[in-house]
Amino acid sequence: MHPVDSSDRSNAGASSGSGAGHGPNAGRSITTLSSREVYRNHWMRVREDEVLRANGEKGVYGVVEKHDAAIILPIEVGFPGDDRIWLVEQFRYTIGERALELPQGGWEMEIENPEELARGELREEIGLDAAEMTLLGTLWVAYGFLRQRQHVYLATGLAPAKGDRDAEEQDLTARTVPIAEFERMMLEGTIRDNSTLAAWGLYQLWRARQK
């Protein structure tokens, strides 16, 4: 959603505050004056807010709301230098292309246990269970316009399980690649999914602290 008045140049303004500190209210420089729902379906809700900025100017902000999601790094540990990772490939309608990425998704409902969601997505998209699921962190997906959190899990001790894909995922395929090839595909632009790259970066930071 884009602003509709000249005082609101970009949705990016909501991500920067004039005050110091962090947290839900620290440095809050935009006040919500009113909010109305513009559109809703099974997967998302879109609202339009009238806002007041710290400089006294009013503007309009469009926000997409989605339930929490999970992204999973399913790693098969082999001999040193021979670890592999599972990826999925599917057609992404918004870009009109098939895309390689880590398994990820949500259930279009409030979730109490993110690990249950991650395990469900792992079974659904790849047909695997994990002996151990390690929560690496939780990221905001694209908070310039979208309110959605994504829980990042490392999955190890993988074993086959029965999968049951959603109707919109029937064209999805899964395969393993060596870690070195996975990193090469990200560097060369074969993999351009920001959630995949962010999850891999978080995993590398976590892994460095385990040594």
pTM above 0.95, yes or no: no
Q: Is the model's pLDDT at 17 over the cut of 70? A: no
Q: How large a percentage of the chain has pLDDT more than 70?
A: 87
Per-residue confidence (pLDDT) for residue 21, from 0 to 100: 56
Residue 144 amino acid letter: G
Q: What is the CATH number of the domain that holds 134?
A: 3.90.79.10
Given a contact cutoff of 8 angstroms between Cβ atoms, the answer to whether 107 and 166 are in contact is no
Domain identity same for 60 and 157? no
Q: Does one domain contain both 28 and 84?
A: no
Q: Are residues 58 and 85 in the same domain?
A: no
Is there a single domain that holds both residue 109 and residue 133? yes
Q: Among 71-85, 115-129, 145-159, which is the least confidently predicted range?
A: 71-85
User: What strands lie across the sheet with 146-147, from one edge to the other?
Assistant: 30-40, 45-53, 58-65, 146-147
Q: Domain range spanning residue 35?
A: 11-65
Confidence of residue 27 (pLDDT cuts 50, 70, 90): confident
User: How many domains, the chain?
Assistant: 2
Tens digit of pLDDT for each residue in 65-114? Answer: 999 999 999 999 987 778 999 999 999 999 999 999 999 999 988 889 99
pLDDT digits (tens, 9 = 90+) for 39-67: 999 999 999 999 999 999 999 999 999 99
The terminus-to-terminus CA distance of the chain in angstroms comes to 44
Contact between 162 and 123 under an 8 Å Cβ cutoff? The reply is: yes
Residue 3 lies in a domain: no
Q: How many angstroms separate the CA atoms of 7 and 56, rounded?
A: 10
